């Protein structure tokens, strides 16, 4: 095992008090930016980059990646406590994490989220360690049709999630696609659906929508019910933390499936967001009791968190090996790499193995440290909820709007967040499923771009999605299987019923 030896060398380099200090500082700063909506990992990382100019690249990447882990964990915290996802990839965590918090199980939800995220990350790094050579080759096989197939697979695994009227699901998802289409059309270089409003040129940020739909919409609902957070007003016991940790083995199947989905989506550059949605969809589909999902089912927290983090860690590999950043944060880090004088690409593994393997080694340690630090701060975060509502209520509102403004410094976004807030309240009350809208907003334009690129490749023939490679055909088949799974399940059931009487 050549990789294993390299990894040990990496551990040797990383193992120093200086680097541990950097890791701790990075993780804590990361938790801070993650918890504050409006600040995300990309902000934090780009802010630290000037500090790293004087560091050696290994220390610098340790600081930046640690901050990234911290921010990911912090983002899950706000998803669970306030229903405000800090990062696109933690949206799926709100589906069951927030209901759990409302039922007074905030501590359990947070602990489950952190532990499964940690496990996901460790599985991810292990995959990177073992498969580093193969993964690079595999990612090169991906072109536009393959990307489209992966996105389609995500949508298919998620369809049928909303159990209410199918019309409402369609309205919700299509509205999401429409919002995603606003702004510049990257394929033709012209403006779409901006109606002459300059501030719409950059598009409708997915985060503004999410802040409104989830954060503000939820607050309105809470107010209407006159709940005033009483539900979350639970005491925090250290015992809850332990109980949650001990309950993890029960979810081994979800953990395993989600980690696999995460690794697969991280390596095939589908990304952590797609991974977390897909894994949530699969968890619900294969669960024995589907009714609990959306109402505080622990597996609904475990699934997206595990997949999110295993995909996030696996995505570092394509970044280093190919120079394709898997996320906004990775893009900033890549910029840093170039400023430090390193070229991301296949040669990085050969020219600077010390850098690559120290980075990978630091990912093991950084994640373990992040889990420990974040678990010790759980009681602190949960205590936020004990501040009287007339103070914390407006505070959350303010933070939501600051978050919306900060994304691109546009005034219009404040109004948009408000409108999305009202929409979120109304849609939720009328049983429109919101998840399809969010998924469509996140993946909508990527899917469209991949589709249209494929069409240019094939000169307009749809056959490309089956004939381009065995890879794309396999993914498409999987997608179709998932899409028609309920139908297939019913058919199989009927066949069995017919057989039994004979």
Partner 1 sequence: MFKAKLITTLLASALYATAAAAAWVPEKPVEFVVASGAGGGTDIFARTIQSIILKYKLMNAPIVVLNKGGGAGSEGFVYGSASLDDAYKLTFGTNNEYLLPLVAKMGYTADMLVPVTALALDEFLIWVNANSPYTDAKSFIEAAKKGDGLKMGGSQSKDTDQTLASMISEATGAKFTYIPFKSGGEAAVQLAGAHIDANLNNPNENLGQFKAGMVRPLCVFSSQRMAAGPKVSKDMAWSDIPLCKDSGIAIDNYQMPRTVWLPAKVSPEAIAFYTTMLKKVSETPEWKSYIEKTSQSDRFMTGDELRAYTKQDAERATAVFKREKWIVQ
Partner 2 sequence: MQNPSGILMTRLTMEIAVALAAAIAGAIVCYGSLEIGTGWGDAGPQSGYFPFYIGLFIVIASCGVLVESVIEQRRYKQIFLTREQGYRILTFFLPMLGFVAVSMVLGLYVGLGLYLFGVMTIQGGYRIGKALAVCACTIVLFYFVFEKWFQVPLLKGPIEALLKIY
Beta strand 183-185 pairing with 190-192: antiparallel
Candidates 390, 470, 497, 500: give the one binding partner 2 (CB under 8 A): 390
Question: Distance between CA 25 and CA 132 in Å, rounded?
Answer: 28
**Residue 425: enclosing H or E segment and its boundaries?**
helix 412-429
Binding span for partner 2 by CB under 8 A among 232-240, 331-339, 413-421, 465-473: 413-421
36 contacts partner 2 (rule: CB under 8 A): yes
Binding span for partner 1 by CB under 8 A among 45-53, 224-232, 432-440, 476-484: 45-53
Candidates 15, 53, 134, 466: give the one binding partner 1 (CB under 8 A): 53
Binding partner selected for residue 324 from partner 2, partner 1, none, CB under the kind-specific 5 to 8 Å limit: partner 1
161 contacts partner 2 (rule: CB under 8 A): no
Question: Distance between CA 131 and CA 271 in Å, rounded?
Answer: 18
148 contacts partner 2 (rule: CB under 8 A): no
Which residues share a beta bridge with 184?
191
Helix axes 328-339, 57-82, angle to 10 degrees: 160
Which residues share a beta bridge with 190?
185
Binding partner selected for residue 255 from partner 2, partner 1, none, CB under the kind-specific 5 to 8 Å limit: none
167 contacts partner 2 (rule: CB under 8 A): yes
Candidates 49, 130, 193, 368: give the one binding partner 2 (CB under 8 A): 193
Token pair 């019923």 is at which residue?
A: 497
- Considering the complex, state which of residue 160 and residue 345 has its C-beta at the smaller distance from partner 2: 160
Which residues does 319 contact at the CB level (< 8 Å), separation at least 6? 325, 326, 330, 333, 334, 344
Count of residues that interact with partner 1, criterion CB under 8 A: 54
Pick out residues in 303-362 that bind partner 2 (CB under 8 A): none
Pick out residues in 324-383 that bind partner 1 (CB under 8 A): 324-325, 328, 330-335, 338-339, 341, 343-348, 350-351
Binding span for partner 2 by CB under 8 A among 296-304, 315-323, 429-437, 484-492: 429-437
> What is residue 232's DSSP assignment?
G
Pick out residues in 437-496 that bind partner 2 (CB under 8 A): 448, 451-452, 454-456, 459-460
Token pair 């004979």 is at which residue?
A: 502
Binding partner selected for residue 201 from partner 1, partner 2, none, CB under the kind-specific 5 to 8 Å limit: partner 1
- Considering the complex, state which of residue 161 and residue 255 has its C-beta at the smaller distance from partner 2: 161
Binding span for partner 2 by CB under 8 A among 35-43, 75-83, 240-248, 295-303: 35-43
**CA distances to 89, 131, 217 from 177, in Å:** 18, 36, 20
Closest CA to 237 of 103, 135, 362, 379: 379
**CA distances to 67, 79, 314 from 330, in Å:** 12, 22, 12
- Considering the complex, state which of residue 345 and residue 379 has its C-beta at the smaller distance from partner 1: 345
- Considering the complex, state which of residue 179 and residue 293 has its C-beta at the smaller distance from partner 2: 179
Count of residues that interact with partner 2, criterion CB under 8 A: 63
Question: Distance between CA 447 and CA 255 in Å, rounded?
Answer: 28
422 neighbors 220 (Cβ within 8 angstroms): yes
> What is residue 83's DSSP assignment?
S
216 contacts partner 2 (rule: CB under 8 A): yes
Token pair 């020219």 is at which residue?
A: 351
152-156 own/partner pairs: CB under 8 Å, 24+ apart:
152/447, 152/475, 152/476, 152/479, 153/278, 153/475, 153/478, 153/479, 153/482, 154/270, 154/274, 154/277, 154/278, 154/281, 154/439, 154/443, 155/439, 155/443, 155/447, 155/479, 156/479, 156/480, 156/482, 156/483
268 neighbors 84 (Cβ within 8 angstroms): no
Question: Distance between CA 155 and CA 159 in Å, rounded?
Answer: 6
Site string for partner 1, 144-183 (x = CB under 8 A): x--------------------------------------x
Q: Which residues bind partner 2 (CB under 8 A)?
A: 33, 36, 38-39, 43-44, 47, 165, 167-168, 170-171, 174-175, 177-178, 181, 185, 187-188, 190-193, 195, 216, 219-220, 223-226, 388-391, 393-395, 397-398, 401-402, 405-406, 409, 411, 414-415, 418, 426-427, 429-430, 432, 448, 451-452, 454-456, 459-460
Q: Which residues bind partner 1 (CB under 8 A)?
A: 42, 46, 49-50, 53, 139-144, 183-191, 196, 198, 201-203, 322-325, 328, 330-335, 338-339, 341, 343-348, 350-351, 408-409, 449, 453, 456-457, 459
């Amino acid at each position: 095992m050549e990789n294993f030896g390299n990894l040990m060398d990496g551990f040797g380099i990383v193992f120093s008090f200086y680097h541990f200090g950097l890791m701790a500082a990075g993780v804590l700063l990361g938790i801070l930016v993650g918890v504050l909506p409006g600040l995300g990992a990309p902000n934090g990382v780009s802010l630290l980059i000037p500090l790293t100019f004087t560091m050696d690249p290994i220390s610098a990447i340790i600081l930046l990646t640690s901050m990234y882990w911290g921010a990911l964990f912090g983002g899950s915290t706000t998803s669970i406590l306030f229903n405000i996802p800090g990062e696109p990839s933690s949206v799926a965590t709100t589906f069951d994490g927030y209901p759990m918090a409302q039922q007074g199980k905030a501590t359990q939800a947070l602990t489950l989220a952190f532990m499964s995220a940690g496990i996901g990350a460790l599985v991810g790094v292990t995959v990177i360690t073992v498969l580093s050579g193969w993964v690079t080759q595999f990612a090169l096989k991906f072109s536009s049709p393959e990307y489209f197939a992966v996105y389609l697979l995500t949508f298919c695994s998620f369809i049928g999630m909303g159990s209410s009227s199918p019309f409402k699901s369609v309205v919700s998802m299509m509205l999401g696609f429409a919002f995603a289409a606003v702004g510049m059309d990257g394929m033709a270089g012209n403006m779409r659906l901006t109606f002459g409003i300059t501030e719409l040129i950059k598009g409708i940020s997915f985060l503004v929508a999410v802040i409104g739909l989830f954060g503000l919409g939820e607050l309105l609902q809470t107010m209407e019910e006159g709940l005033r957070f009483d539900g979350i007003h639970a005491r925090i016991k250290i015992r809850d933390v332990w109980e949650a940790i001990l309950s993890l083995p029960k979810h081994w199947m979800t953990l395993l499936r989600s980690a696999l989905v995460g690794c697969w989506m991280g390596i095939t550059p589908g990304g952590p967001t797609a991974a977390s949605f897909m894994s949530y969809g699969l968890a619900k589909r294969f669960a024995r009791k589907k009714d609990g999902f959306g109402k505080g089912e622990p597996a609904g927290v475990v699934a997206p968190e595990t997949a999110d983090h295993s995909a996030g860690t696996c995505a570092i590999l394509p970044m280093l090996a190919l120079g394709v950043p898997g996320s906004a944060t990775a893009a900033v880090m890549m910029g840093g790499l170039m400023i430090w004088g390193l070229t991301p690409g296949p040669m990085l593994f050969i020219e600077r193995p010390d850098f690559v393997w120290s980075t990978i080694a630091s990912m093991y340690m950084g994640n373990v440290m992040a889990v420990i630090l974040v678990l010790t701060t759980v009681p602190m975060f949960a205590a936020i909820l004990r501040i009287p509502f007339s103070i914390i209520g407006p505070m959350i509102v303010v933070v939501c709007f600051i978050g919306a403004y900060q994304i691109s410094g546009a005034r219009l976004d404040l109004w948009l967040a408000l409108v999305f807030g009202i929409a979120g309240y109304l849609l939720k009350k009328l049983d429109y499923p919101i998840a399809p809208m969010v998924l469509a907003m996140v993946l909508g334009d990527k899917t469209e771009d991949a589709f249209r690129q494929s069409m240019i490749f094939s000169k307009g023939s749809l056959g490309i999605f089956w004939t381009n490679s065995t890879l794309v055909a396999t993914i498409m088949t999987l997608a179709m299987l998932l899409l028609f799974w309920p139908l297939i399940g019913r058919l199989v059931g009927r066949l069995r019923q017919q057989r039994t009487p004979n």
